[in-house]
Amino acid sequence: MPKIEPVNQEVNWNKEEGTLGIVGVAPWATIEFCKSFYSKIKAGKDWHYPRVIVDINSKIPSRGRYFQLGERDPSPYIAKTINELSVQGATVAVVPCNTAHILFDKWAFESPIPVPNILKETLRLASDSGATSITPLTSTSLAKKNLYGKLTKEFDLECVNLSPEEQIIIDNVIQDIKMFGEITNENYGDFESLMINPKFQDTTIIFGCTELSLLGDFFHKKDITTIDSNSALAEAALRYIYNRD
């Protein structure tokens, strides 16, 4: 792809501005990440936005089926996609999928460009926001690994995990969003009852699955404090693109 230089004072941008590459393993989650990313940029014209290269490849092997059924490891395909994005001009890559980060060391280890870790960026954002306790809403695979819980000490946070029964409700919600882009009436009642449980009043809810970004309005109306992993990853990407410390 061509490298395009600014032509004058009106149509201008920072020549050192980086390019974002997105490994989209799930369509709805990737779209929500892009919304979050673009919403954080102050732009008056199209050219004020950085270049973004998106590869939404839903054929990359399922992370859940790999962990639960022993099917194909998605790691080589994610790593190859990052390399391809780098060749096309990306200077930083993101994978908007929390579950894929269980395998982070396998697909990010030899990356030719920086790859922010969505879990660590989310916990960093939670800590910076003043949270002391979190409750991650994640896939079953990530919940079983308790990866958020294991990383909380690094950020001086405590973790309140869901019970197995509560996890089933979140799994149903995630599947709804993957299929329909919203929660179905069948699962809405259970989800609402879960989220207004008093046990979550003194904890910050983590959208530990990027599909859950679509539920921001629900939590806002319920006045429940949340941290969105998509938002945290978008902020990290922008730091790399604009060389911010």
Identify which of 70, 99, 95 has the alpha carbon closest to the alpha carbon of residue 80: 95
Amino acid letter, 238: L
Residue 80 CB neighbours (<10 A):
13
Kindly report the three-state secondary structure assignment for every residue of 11-57. CCCCCCCCCEEEEECCHHHHHHHHHHHHHCCCCCCHHHCCCEEEEEC
Q: What is the CA radius of gyration of the chain?
A: 18
Distance CA 168, CA 76 (A): 29
Q: Average model confidence (pLDDT) for the chain? A: 91
pLDDT confidence bin for 148, thresholds 50/70/90 = very high
What is this structure's pTM?
0.90
* 241, pLDDT greater than 80: yes
186 Cβ partners below 8 Å, 6+ apart?
none
Segment 228-243 mean pLDDT: 95
Check residue 5 and give its pLDDT.
Answer: 74
Burial 32-59 (b: 16+ CB within 10 A, else e): bbbebbeeeeeeeeeeeebbebebeeee
Distance CA 174, CA 214 (A): 10
* 10, pLDDT greater than 90: no
Segment 141-164 mean pLDDT: 94
Check residue 28 and give its pLDDT.
Answer: 85
Interval 158-217: pLDDT, tens? 999 999 999 999 999 999 988 888 888 899 999 999 988 888 778 999 999 988 988 888
Interval 103-121: pLDDT, tens? 999 999 999 999 999 999 9
The answer to whether 55 and 23 are in contact (CB under 8 A) is yes
Check residue 244 and give its pLDDT.
Answer: 63
Check residue 152 and give its pLDDT.
Answer: 93
The answer to whether 89 and 53 are in contact (CB under 8 A) is yes
Where do the domains of the chain lie, and which CATH numbers do they carry? Answer: 20-117+232-241 (3.40.50.1860), 119-229 (3.40.50.1860)
